[in-house]
C-alpha cells in the first residue's frame, strides 16, 4: 500500500523538504493530492512490496565520532545532575524551569540514589562521592509523606543502591540497601507474598487497596534476589520466592497463561481479565525473563511464565496499522483466540520496552529448542487448561520461534522509533491511538489487523517479500501548514497523550536492538533522539518534560524525573560506547536501568 498516490505524495514531499523546505507551492500540491486521494479501506491485509531501504537522514560515523557522542551524553548528565545538586538536593527531583525542588518519592533524594550507577559508569567520581554522602545520611524511617510507595521505592532506591554496589563494591551501599528493605518489610501479605501499595517505614502500618496492580506487586524479584545474595539472607530470598510461587500457581485459565493487571493481594488470584504490557503491567512481564537470566538461567518456573506471557502477547496483542502497517502492541479485555474484540488500539510509550525485552529473550534463550530446557509448548498451552486460548501455542509452532520473537522486536522497535521521527520535535508522544479501518474488527469480513493473521497469510503465500510489519518506513513530518489544514491521517495514528516525559523505553529498546543485532541504524536512531532531547528539552537549569511533541518549539513542563538520569541518559551513553561495560551476557538491568551482575 506504499504505492498508493497518497503515500507517494507524502514521500516526495518528504524528499524535497530538505531542499525546498517551506515551499508553499509544494505544500499546496501535496495538500491537493492528499485531499483528492480516496482513503483506501478495502483490503487490510497488505501487499508487502515496499522495498527495504534505510532512512536517508541516518548514516554511520567513525568510532571517534561515537566516542565524541558518548562524551556529549555525559555532559548532558552533568548539566542535569549538577543543577539538581545546586537547586534541589537533598530533595527528590529538580524543577528545571524554576530552579525549584519537589519531594515526590519519600523526600530521601531519589535523583541522587537513582543516579549513582550512571555516575560510576561515566567515571564521574566527584559527583559519586558527593551523592554517597547524601545516601549515608538518609533516615529511611522518616519519610515525607508518611507512607512510602513500595514499587517505586524498590526499583529506584533499592535498585540504585544495589547496582552502585555491584559497580563500586562500596560496602556501605549494601548496608543501606538492607536498612531500606528492613524498613519496608511489613508491606508484604504474609501468605501470598504480594506487597500492599505502601507502608509507613516507621510504624510498619500498610496502606493500599486489597486489589493490587500487577506491575506494583510483581516487580521486586530481581532486587530481593540480588539483595539476598549480598546479605546471605534467606528471608529476603523468600520475598521473591513466595511471590513467584503465588504467581505460578494462580489460575490463569481466562487469560491464556498471561498475567492480567488486577490481582487480589489476599487470595493471590487475578481479579479481572484486562491484559496489557503497558502502564500497570509492563515490568511484571519483564521480570519473568530477567529473573531467569539473573539466576544464571536456573529459575525455570520464571522462564515458563515468560514463554506463556510472550506467546499470548504475540498471538493476541500485536496488530498492524491499516495503511503503513506499523506493528504495535495494545491491550485486551476478555481475549479470545479468534478475535480480541475489546482491544483499545492504544499504543503507549511505556510499552516500548517490549521490543528490547523480546530481543533480549531471543538473544539469550534457545527458543528454537525449548525441549532442551524441558519446556514443551503443547504442555504450556494445554487446551484442557486454557481452552481455545491454548490453540495459540500450536499456531506458533509453525514458526522458528527465535526468528518470530526477533521479527516482533524489530517491527515494534521500528514503530516506537517512527513515533519520534514523525514529529517536528523529533520526540515521541506518550500515547497514541492507532487508526482502524473497520470500527468493529469482528464485522470486518474475516479481515483482521492481528499480526499473526497477516504472518500466516504471508507464510501461506510462500513467504516472499517483506515480512509483515517489518518494512522500513520513511517518517512523515507534517508542517504547521499541513497540520492547520487538518492533515495528519497519513500517520495511521492520533496523539492521545502528546507529551514526551523524558521517558527511556524507546531508547532502551534501541540500545538493546543495537547491542543484539549490531545493525548501526539503531545506534544512529538513538543519536537523532538524543539530538532532539538536547534541542527541545534542555533548559538553563536542566532538562524539562515536553507538553506536546507536535509543536516547535514545544511548551515545557517543570519536571525532570529521576529516571531521566537513571535510564534515559544511561542507555544513550552505553549505546555510544564501543565496549559495553555492562554486557548483556553478564548483567541484567532492573526496570529502572539499574544493572545487577548475573549470579553464579
Ligand X SMILES: *[C@@H]1O[C@H](CO)[C@@H](O)[C@H](O)[C@H]1NC(C)=O
- Return the HEC string of 481-494: HHHHCCCCHHHCEE
CB nearer to ligand X: pick between 212 and 429: 212
- Kindly state the smallest distance separating residue 207's Cβ from ligand X, in Å: 16
| Residue 40 host element (H or E) | none
| Three cell numbers, residue 123 | 567515571
Q: At closest approach, how far in Å is the CB of 142 from ligand X?
A: 33
Q: Does residue number 267 form part of the binding site for ligand X (CB under 6 A)?
A: yes
Question: Which CB sits closer to ligand X, 380 or 421?
Answer: 380
Interhelix angle for 5-17 vs 24-36, to 10°?
170
Cβ closest to ligand X, residue 270 vs residue 468: 270
Closer CB to ligand X, 366 or 553, in the complex: 366
Q: Which residues contact 517 (CB under 8 A, 6 or more apart)?
A: 359, 410
591 known member of a binding site? yes
Q: Which window, 64-72, 89-97, 186-194, 259-267, contacts ligand X (CB under 6 A)?
A: 259-267
Least Å distance, CB 269 to ligand X, is 7
Comparing CB distances to ligand X, the nearer of 350 and 404 is 404
Q: Which of residues 463-482 bind ligand X (CB under 6 A)?
A: none
Q: Smallest gap, in angstroms, from Cβ of residue 210 to ligand X?
A: 5
Q: Between residues 247 and 434, which has the closer beta carbon with respect to ligand X? A: 247
Burial 82-105 (b: 16+ CB within 10 A, else e): ebbbebbbbbbbbbbbebebebbb
Q: How far is the CB of 401 from ligand X (least distance, A)?
A: 12
Q: How far is the CB of 368 from ligand X (least distance, A)?
A: 7
Between vectors from CA 69 to CA 66 and to CA 75, what angle results, nearest 5°? 150
349-408 positions binding ligand X, by CB under 6 A:
369, 371-372
Find all residues with CB under 8 Å of 214, minimum gap 6, and list them.
Answer: 259, 260, 261, 262, 263, 280, 281, 284
Which residues, 6 or more positions from 463, have their beta carbon under 8 angstroms from its beta carbon? none
**270 versus 361: smaller Cβ distance to ligand X:** 270
CB of 372 to ligand X, least distance (A): 4
Instruction: In whole angstroms, give the CA distance from residue 80 to residue 84.
Output: 6
CA nearest to 189, candidates 163, 215, 208: 208
Question: Following DSSP, what letter does each residue of 208-268 receive, concatenated?
Answer: S-SEEEHHHHS--HHHHHHHHHHHT-HHHHHHHHHHHHHHHHS--GGGTT---SEEETTTT
DSSP per-residue letters across 467-478: PTT---------
> Residue 307 Cβ, how far from ligand X at the closest point, in Å?
15
User: Which of 189, 242, 264, 310: binder of ligand X (CB under 6 A)?
Assistant: 264
User: Grid cell 529521576 — which residue?
Assistant: 562
Query: How many whole angstroms separate alpha carbon 493 and alpha carbon 470?
Result: 18
Please, what is the minimum distance in Å from the beta carbon of residue 219 to ligand X?
Answer: 21
Query: Using CB under 6 A, which of the segments 263-271, 278-286, 352-360, 565-573 binds ligand X?
Result: 263-271
Q: Which CB, 52 or 371, lies closer to ligand X?
A: 371
**Residues that contact ligand X, how many (by CB under 6 A):** 8
Shortest distance in whole angstroms from residue 193 CB to ligand X: 15
Q: Are 249 and 181 in contact (CB under 8 A)?
A: no
First to last CA, the chain: 51
Q: Which is nearer to ligand X, 303 or 501 (CB)?
A: 303
Cα 223 to Cα 588: distance, rounded to the nearest angstrom: 11
Q: Rounded to the nearest whole angstrom, what is the least distance from the CB of residue 189 to ligand X in the complex?
A: 10
Select from 260-268, 336-344, 436-444, 533-541 the region that touches ligand X (CB under 6 A). 260-268
Map the footprint of ligand X across residues 186-215, applying CB under 6 A.
210-211
Q: Which helix (H) or strand (E) holds 63?
A: helix 63-87
Segment near ligand X (CB under 6 A), from 117-125, 264-272, 356-364, 545-553?
A: 264-272
Between CA 317 and CA 309 the distance in angstroms is 11
Our CB check for ligand X shows the closer of 129 and 266 to be 266
Give the nearer residue to ligand X in terms of CB position, either 401 or 502.
401
Contact of 422 with 476, CB cutoff 8 Å: yes
- Using the rule CB under 6 A, give the single segment among 262-270, 340-348, 532-540, 560-568 that binds ligand X: 262-270
> How far is Cα 563 from Cα 574, in angstroms, rounded to an integer?
15
The footprint of ligand X (CB under 6 A) covers 210-211, 264, 266-267, 369, 371-372
Annotated binding site for Ca(2+): 591
Annotated binding site: 591
Amino acid at each position: 500500500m506504499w504505492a498508493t498516490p497518497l503515500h507517494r505524495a507524502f514521500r516526495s514531499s518528504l524528499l524535497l523538504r530538505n531542499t525546498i523546505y517551506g515551499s508553499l507551492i509544494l505544500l499546496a500540491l501535496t495538500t491537493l493530492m492528499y485531499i483528492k486521494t480516496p482513503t483506501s479501506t478495502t483490503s487490510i491485509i497488505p501487499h508487502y512490496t515496499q522495498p527495504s531501504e534505510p532512512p536517508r537522514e541516518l548514516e554511520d560515523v567513525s568510532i571517534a565520532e561515537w566516542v565524541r557522542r558518548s562524551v556529549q551524553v555525559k555532559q548532558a548528565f552533568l548539566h542535569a545532575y549538577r543543577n539538581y545538586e545546586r537547586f534541589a538536593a537533598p530533595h527528590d527531583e529538580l524543577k528545571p524551569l524554576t530552579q525549584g525542588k519537589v519531594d515526590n518519592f519519600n523526600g530521601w533524594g531519589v535523583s541522587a540514589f537513582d543516579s549513582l550507577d550512571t555516575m560510576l559508569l561515566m567515571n564521574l567520581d566527584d559527583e559519586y562521592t558527593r551523592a554517597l554522602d547524601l545516601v549515608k545520611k538518609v533516615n529511611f524511617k522518616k519519610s515525607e509523606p508518611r507512607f512510602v510507595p513500595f514499587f517505586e521505592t524498590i526499583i529506584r532506591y533499592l535498585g540504585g543502591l544495589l547496582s552502585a554496589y555491584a559497580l563500586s563494591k562500596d560496602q556501605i551501599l549494601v548496608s543501606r540497601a538492607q536498612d531500606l528493605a528492613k524498613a519496608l518489610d511489613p508491606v508484604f501479605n504474609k501468605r501470598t507474598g504480594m506487597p500492599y501499595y505502601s507502608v509507613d517505614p516507621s510504624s510498619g502500618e500498610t496502606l493500599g487497596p486489597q486489589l493490587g496492580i500487577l506491575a506494583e506487586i510483581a516487580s521486586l524479584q530481581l532486587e530481593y534476589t540480588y539483595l539476598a545474595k549480598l546479605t546471605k539472607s534467606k528471608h529476603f530470598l523468600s520475598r521473591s520466592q513466595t511471590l513467584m510461587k503465588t504467581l505460578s500457581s494462580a489460575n490463569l485459565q481466562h487469560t491464556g497463561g498471561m498475567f492480567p493487571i488486577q490481582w487480589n493481594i489476599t487470595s493471590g488470584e487475578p481479579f479481572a481479565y484486562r491484559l496489557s504490557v503497558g502502564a500497570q503491567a509492563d515490568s511484571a512481564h519483564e521480570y519473568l525473563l530477567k529473573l531467569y537470566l539473573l539466576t544464571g538461567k536456573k529459575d525455570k518456573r520464571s522462564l515458563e511464565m515468560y514463554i506463556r506471557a510472550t506467546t499470548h502477547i504475540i498471538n493476541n496483542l500485536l496488530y498492524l496499522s491499516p495503511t503503513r502497517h506499523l506493528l504495535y502492541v495494545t491491550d485486551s479485555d476478555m481475549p479470545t483466540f479468534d478475535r480480541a474484540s475489546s482491544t483499545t488500539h492504544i499504543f503507549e510509550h511505556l510499552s516500548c520496552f517490549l521490543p528490547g525485552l523480546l530481543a533480549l529473550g531471543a538473544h539469550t534463550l534457545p527458543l528454537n529448542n525449548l525441549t532442551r530446557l524441558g519446556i514443551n509448548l503443547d504442555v504450556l498451552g494445554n487446551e484442557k487448561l486454557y481452552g481455545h486460548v491454548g490453540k495459540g501455542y500450536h499456531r506458533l509452532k509453525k514458526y522458528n520461534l527465535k526468528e518470530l520473537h526477533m521479527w516482533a522486536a524489530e517491527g515494534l522497535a521500528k514503530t516506537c522509533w517512527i513515533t519520534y521521527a514523525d514529529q517536528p520535535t523529533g520526540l515521541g508522544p506518550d500515547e497514541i491511538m492507532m487508526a482502524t479501518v473497520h470500527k468493529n474488527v469482528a464485522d470486518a469480513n474475516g479481515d483482521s489487523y492481528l499480526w499473526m493473521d497477516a504472518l500466516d497469510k504471508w507464510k501461506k503465500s510462500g513467504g516472499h517479500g517483506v515480512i509483515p510489519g517489518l518494512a522500513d518506513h520513511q517518517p512523515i513530518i507534517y508542517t504547521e501548514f499541513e497540520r492547520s489544514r487538518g492533515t495528519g491521517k497519513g500517520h495511521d495514528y492520533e496523539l492521545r497523550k502528546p507529551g514526551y516525559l523524558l521517558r527511556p523505553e524507546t531508547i532502551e529498546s534501541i540500545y538493546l536492538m543495537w547491542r543484539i543485532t549490531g545493525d548501526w541504524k539503531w545506534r544512529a536512531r538513538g543519536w537523532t533522539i538524543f539530538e532532539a532531547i538536547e534541542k527541545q528539552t534542555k533548559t538553563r537549569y536542566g532538562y524539562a518534560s515536553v507538553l506536546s511533541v507536535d509543536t516547535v518549539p514545544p511548551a515545557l513542563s517543570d519536571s525532570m524525573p529521576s529516571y531521566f538520569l537513571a535510564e534515559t541518559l544511561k542507555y544513550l551513553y552505553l549505546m555510544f560506547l564501543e565496549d559495553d561495560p555492562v554486557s548483556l551476557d553478564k548483567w541484567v538491568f532492573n526496570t529502572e536501568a539499574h544493572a545487577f551482575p548475573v549470579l553464579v
